[in-house]
Structures are given as structure tokens and as C-alpha cells.
Amino acid sequence: MIRKSMIVIQLALLLSIVSISCVPEAGVKKTSLLGQKVKTRAQLPGELPYKVNFVRTIGGVGTGVGEFFQPMAVGVDSDNNLYVLDSGTERVQVFNNEGKYIYEFDISEQSRQQKPELVDIVVDSSYRVYVSDKQNNTVSVYEIVGKLSDESAIRAVNYSGALESKGGNKTLVELEVGAQFTFAGGSPSGFFEVKNKEPDSIEVEEVDTLESMEYQLATDGTRQVYIKVKFDHPAGLATDKIGNMFVADSYSDSVIVFDHYNDYKMSFGTFGRGINNFRNPQSIDVDYYQNIYVADTGNNRVQVFDLNCNYLMEWGGKGAGDGEFNKPAPVRLDKFSNVYVADKGNNRIQVFDANGQFLFKFSGKYTEAEEGFQPLSMVVSGEGFLYVLDSRNNILSQFEIVYREE
């Protein structure tokens, strides 16, 4: 590259547009259980579960209505309808809260380069359905048109694109050294590259051409940078109460966050074993207080962060004892922020309070499964039911969560 000029941008001019920090707070130490307590109100005795009661099974092996063939994930909407991602038939079947079939829609016709590896499904408050596909590195979005009920069928399910094709924003101070960009609208004109970053300034070099066109600064004076998001084997999905979308991107060992408009918002995490590190994270969930719980599957632990990506705490470790895991995923939360972890390698589900204190565990002996219990996916409804997808037996088991008396 031919150097044309060097521009030094003082960070004092940029402080007002710095987006959410994704660096752990200084001084927070890693502990086996308690780092900082999760920021919720104190849990009352009547909000702590102590057992589950088996209610019914839904499904069974097959390709017909209400049957499953290689089911991979289950989601729930705000009306407590259930969405089962059936990978063998490349469809989503929808059931009411009692397991009665309502309808289904096909997800096989989207443009794909390879045979899909469908992983997770989630439904946001606007009835948008998100489906992650590891093999094609996409998160597809479907919009439901019409009311969901037994009496009134939906009018349409529209495929509305994929998160990976959406633009987003990133502030200039978040760019790494070597990032290349232009200014939208051509003012100032030219091509630029970040050459150096100091605590109080950013050094930007003007270059003749760009090797890659990833970033473009906005023209509205905010100095935002637009970037196309790329996934690397996206796995677990979650949405919060204000419509943010969270993706556990397993091969990049990170969490990627989108806003309600499906625009890129932030990301955090790198490969490793320490604080803010992940190894093949497979699942994620967010509670009412917007604490982020990540199933750090390769590290056999659950890590918890606040909405600003600050590390709060973790628990786990490889093993078969209470509070230990063997390939944990997914992680799910109830309305009281209690944590349900599918401990897949140990063929069981463990339940914890909001701060990771072990409460109880259960396994296949509580279901009608004919063979060994293999929890692959699960979801907690707003009505207080836990639904566990047992991939080995092609069934969805419904459990009533029983809370302690106050």
C-alpha cells in the first residue's frame, strides 16, 4: 500500500459514541461459583423449584402430522405455543401448550450451499422465528402473519432473510488495527486503514485501495462504522424482553448480539478457559433482568454476564457430581431466573437458582421414554412448564415445575 497521509483522531471526540463495552470489569476474579451475584431481586422461597412432575409426551418417531424425525430443538412463544424444529423433514411444527398440533411450515426452500445442520429455534415477542444452521453459517428469520390459535389458522409464514446478511454498526474506537474503511458519501474522500491505537487517540492512514470492503463510516456525524456480520457455526439462540437477539457462535467462541431490527449491536468472547473466554459455546439464554447465561460447553461450565458483557460469575467443571457437567447445553431460565441445564454427557437435567446454587436434578426415569434419556433441547414456558426434547426417542416431554411453598 502507498501511504498518502496520516490522520490522528483524538478519542475525546469519540467518547459520546462508544457502544457497549464487552471487556470484563477490572478486578473481577474468576471463582468456581461466586464472583459477583447476579443482579436480580432476592428470590423468595416460593420462587425456588424443588422438583418436576411429569405431565405428558408429545410426538413419536415418524414423518406425519405431530410426529418427529430427528428433532433438534424446541422454542416457545409468548402465548405458550411450542415450536419443534424437525431437521429430518426440514419443517417446524407448532403445538399448543397441551401438545395439540396446530400447524407446520416448511424451511427447506431457502438458498443453501450445503445440507443444513439445524441447531436451535427461538421466537421473539413479535412472532419472528429464528432458526440457526451451523453448516451454512446462517440464522434464518421467519415472520408469522396472523393470530395463532386452535380456531384461527395463520395466514402465512414469510421467510424474511438471514441475520448474516444484515448490516449493523460498530464505533470507530472498536475497530482493530488493520481495519479498512471509507466514509459514506465520499466526505472525506479516499480509503483509510487503522494503523495504530493509543489510549487517547486513533491513527488512521489514507491508502490507495482497499484489500477488503468491510466498513463504511456513516455520514450523520456519529462516526459509526457499518459491518456485515459473518457467523462461524452459529448454535444457540435467545431473545430478551426488548427484542435483542443473542447468538452463541460456536466456532468463533463468541456471543453476537443483534437489536430488535436485526442489526448488529455487539459481540464478546474469545477462545480460552478464563473470564470472558469460551470453548465451543452451544447455548445461551437471557433472564428478565437481562443477565446473559452462556453454556460454555467445551469448558463444562455456565458463565453469566450482565447486559454490558461484564463477567459476573460461573459454575461447573467436568464431572458427574452435583453442579458438575459433561457437555452442558442447552441452558434455560424460568421467570424467576432459576437455571435449567441439560447435562447431555450425563443424560440428566440439573436445576440451579439464579446464582448457581444446585437445587436438584432429574433424568429419564421421570419420562415415558422407552430407551435411555437423551435431552437435546428444552424450553421453559411462561406458565411454569418445562418441555424437554428427547432426540433418542423422538419425543417432547412436558413437566410441571413445582416450587417450594412460601
- Domain of residue 206 covers 5-23+169-226
Q: Cα(265)–Cα(246) distance, rounded to whole angstroms?
A: 10
- Regarding whether 305 and 162 lie in a shared domain, the answer is yes
Q: Is residue 29 part of a domain?
A: no
- Regarding whether 334 and 300 lie in a shared domain, the answer is yes
Q: Cα(327)–Cα(318) distance, rounded to whole angstroms?
A: 8
- Cβ neighbours of residue 27 closer than 8 Å, sequence gap 6 or more: none
For residue 112, the model assigns a pLDDT of: 67
Q: Cα(261)–Cα(46) distance, rounded to whole angstroms?
A: 37
- Regarding whether 65 and 16 lie in a shared domain, the answer is no
Under 8 Å between Cβ of 59 and 304: no
Whole-angstrom CA distances from 64 to 93, 171, 196, 224, 396 are 11, 50, 60, 50, 15
Q: Grid coordinates 489510549 are at which residue?
A: 199
Q: Grid coordinates 429430518 are at which residue?
A: 88
Last residue of a domain, one of 226, 253, 272: 226
The model's pTM is 0.78
**Pairing state of beta strands 264-268 and 270-271?**
unpaired
- Which one-letter DSSP state was computed for residue 325? B
**Neighbouring C-beta atoms of residue 111, cutoff 10 Å:** 7
Q: Cα(259)–Cα(168) distance, rounded to whole angstroms?
A: 9
Q: Which residues of the chain have pLDDT under 70?
A: 1-42, 45, 109-112, 146-156, 164-172, 183-188, 210-229, 364-372, 406
Q: Is residue 34 part of a domain?
A: no
Write out the three cell numbers for 156. 402465512
Under 8 Å between Cβ of 154 and 147: yes
For residue 34, the model assigns a pLDDT of: 38
For residue 7, the model assigns a pLDDT of: 59
Q: Is residue 37 part of a domain?
A: no
Tell me: cis bond preceding 330? Omega within 30 of 0 counts. Answer: yes
- Regarding whether 303 and 354 lie in a shared domain, the answer is yes
Paired residues of 339 in beta bridges: 333, 352
For residue 204, the model assigns a pLDDT of: 80
- Regarding whether 358 and 307 lie in a shared domain, the answer is yes
- Domain count within the chain: 2
Under 8 Å between Cβ of 97 and 81: yes
Q: Cα(282)–Cα(326) distance, rounded to whole angstroms?
A: 13
Under 8 Å between Cβ of 332 and 285: yes
For residue 398, the model assigns a pLDDT of: 94
For residue 85, the model assigns a pLDDT of: 96
For residue 161, the domain's CATH number is 2.120.10.30
- Regarding whether 177 and 158 lie in a shared domain, the answer is no
Write out the three cell numbers for 6. 496520516
- Which one-letter DSSP state was computed for residue 317? -
- Regarding whether 196 and 158 lie in a shared domain, the answer is no
For residue 367, the model assigns a pLDDT of: 60
- Regarding whether 352 and 288 lie in a shared domain, the answer is yes
Express each pLDDT in 236-282 by its tens digit.
999 999 999 999 999 999 998 888 888 777 788 999 999 989 999 99
Counting beta carbons within 10 angstroms of the beta carbon of residue 186, is it exposed (0 to 12), middle (13 to 18) or buried (19 or more)? exposed
- Regarding whether 290 and 203 lie in a shared domain, the answer is no
Under 8 Å between Cβ of 303 and 284: no
**Neighbouring C-beta atoms of residue 61, cutoff 10 Å:** 13
